[in-house]
């Protein structure tokens, strides 16, 4: 076997795993196509514990430096894992660069990506009024008027996150009724700050340097309306980067890797997973890091019990 541990992904979870694996003297390979993960695009992360504020870019550089300081960790920073195969000795990890690596254990931290509306203005104003993480960015919308798109649990929670900050919140709902847990739904419905607009789909996000308005279409009449807003929170779910794990480990109906939350073990012995790619309820940097450390220590204990 070439490596004791192969880590898939270079987000906060993968970086944390690499640092802990290095310090445990595991011969480690980290394979990723980008460093820093999803919050790389963020202008200000204000809940990275021990740091008042850091940009996604600076966080990514700090994580990468910490990984590169580990003598036992090799980096493959420009390829994507395309498949994982269990063998008698461990695993063969294949990549889109037609490489194959052998590892005694694997920790998957390939994270996720936010589901997008696919409308004009969404990419252009990403980070300039278009928001994909309300827990992260609600405090930036103090005294602002915002629209939240999506009325499932994530959308409802975004509205609640915005209560202390926004002066007015429009909740744009595709369906005729809300679809979230009754408690959060009750909070949203009774708030005087909130106007719920049912059965509409967003057609365009407009602005200049920053978001100025959002256009939506009534599904029953096709009538288009424009709402002046300072921010558009898009909360229509996230997609785990788990395509290469189909048929390899047990996934839930959302495609998230099902793990034992004490150990980060998956349904396959020797294959661990942590962070946003898993069925962890809260998708946050600090949580991804903590879980990845758990997964690395579990992998270490697993390896101690394996021959060779």
Ligand X SMILES: Cc1cc2nc3c(=O)[nH]c(=O)nc-3n(C[C@H](O)[C@H](O)[C@H](O)COP(=O)(O)OP(=O)(O)OC[C@H]3O[C@@H](n4cnc5c(N)ncnc54)[C@H](O)[C@@H]3O)c2cc1C
- What DSSP letter does each residue of the chain carry, written as one string? --EEEEEE--SHHHHHHHHHHHHTT--EEEE-SSSSGGGGG-S-B--STT-S-B-HHHHHHHHHHHHHT-TTEEEETT--EEEEEE-SSSEEEEETTS-EEEEEEEEE---EEE-----BTTTTTBTTTEES-HHHHGGGGTT-EEEEE--SHHHHHHHHHHTTT-SEEEEE-SSSS--S-HHHHHHHHH-TTEEEE-SEEEEEEEESSSEEEEEEEETTT--EEEEE-SEEEE-S-EEES-GGGTTTS-B-TTSPBP--TTT-B-SSTTEEE-GGGBS-S---HHHHHHHHHHHHHHHHHHHHTS--
114 forms part of the interface with ligand X (CB under 6 A): yes
74 forms part of the interface with ligand X (CB under 6 A): no
266 forms part of the interface with ligand X (CB under 6 A): no
CB nearer to ligand X: give 57 or 219: 57
14 forms part of the interface with ligand X (CB under 6 A): yes
159 forms part of the interface with ligand X (CB under 6 A): no
129 forms part of the interface with ligand X (CB under 6 A): no
Query: Can you tell me the distance from the alpha carbon of 270 to that of 3, in angstroms, rounded to the nearest whole number?
Result: 13
Which residue stretch of 26-34, 84-92, 143-151, 164-172 sits at the interface with ligand X (rule: CB under 6 A)? 26-34
Least Å distance, CB 239 to ligand X, is 11
Task: Identify the residue among 41, 78, 176, 254 touching ligand X (CB under 6 A).
Answer: 41
Which residue stretch of 34-42, 141-149, 198-206, 253-261 sits at the interface with ligand X (rule: CB under 6 A)? 34-42
Positions in 221-260 near ligand X (CB under 6 A): 241, 244
30 forms part of the interface with ligand X (CB under 6 A): no
Task: Identify the residue among 4, 275, 293, 295 touching ligand X (CB under 6 A).
Answer: 275
Least Å distance, CB 45 to ligand X, is 4
Task: Identify the residue among 2, 34, 55, 191 touching ligand X (CB under 6 A).
Answer: 34
9 forms part of the interface with ligand X (CB under 6 A): yes
Which residue stretch of 35-43, 97-105, 197-205, 297-305 sits at the interface with ligand X (rule: CB under 6 A)? 35-43
What is the bridge-based pairing of β-strands 200-207 and 194-197? unpaired
Applying CB under 6 A, the residues found at the interface with ligand X are 8-14, 31-34, 37-39, 41-42, 45, 47, 80-81, 109-112, 114, 132-133, 136, 241, 244, 275-276, 283-286, 288
């Amino acid at each position: 076997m070439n490596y004791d541990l192969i880590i898939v992904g270079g987000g906060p979870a993968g970086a944390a795993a690499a640092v802990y694996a290095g310090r445990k003297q595991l011969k480690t390979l980290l394979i990723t196509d980008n460093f820093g993960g999803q919050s790389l695009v963020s202008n200000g992360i204000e809940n990275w514990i021990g740091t008042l504020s850091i940009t996604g870019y600076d966080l990514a550089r700090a994580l990468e430096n910490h990984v590169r300081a580990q003598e036992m960790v090799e980096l493959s920073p420009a390829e994507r894992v395309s498949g994982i195969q269990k063998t008698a000795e461990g695993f063969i990890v294949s990549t889109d660069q037609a490489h194959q690596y052998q590892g005694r254990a694997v920790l998957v931290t390939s994270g996720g990506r936010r589901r997008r509306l696919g409308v004009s203005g969404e990419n252009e104003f990403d980070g300039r009024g278009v928001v994909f993480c309300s827990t992260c960015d609600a405090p930036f919308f103090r005294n602002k008027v915002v629209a939240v798109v999506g009325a499932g649990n994530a959308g409802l929670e975004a509205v609640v996150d915005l209560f202390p900050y926004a002066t007015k919140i429009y909740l744009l709902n595709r369906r005729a009724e809300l679809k979230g847990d009754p408690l959060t739904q009750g909070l949203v419905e009774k708030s005087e700050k909130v106007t719920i607009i049912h059965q509409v789909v967003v057609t365009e996000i407009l602005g200049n340097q920053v978001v100025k308005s959002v256009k939506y279409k009534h599904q029953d009449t096709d009538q288009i309306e424009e709402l002046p807003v300072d921010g558009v929170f898009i909360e229509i779910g996230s997609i785990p980067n788990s395509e290469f794990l189909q048929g390899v480990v047990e996934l839930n109906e959302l495609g998230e890797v099902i793990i034992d939350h004490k150990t980060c073990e998956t349904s396959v012995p020797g294959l661990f997973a942590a962070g946003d790619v898993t069925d962890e309820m809260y998708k946050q940097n600090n949580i991804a890091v903590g879980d990845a450390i758990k997964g690395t220590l579990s992998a270490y204990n697993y390896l101690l019990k394996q021959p060779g």
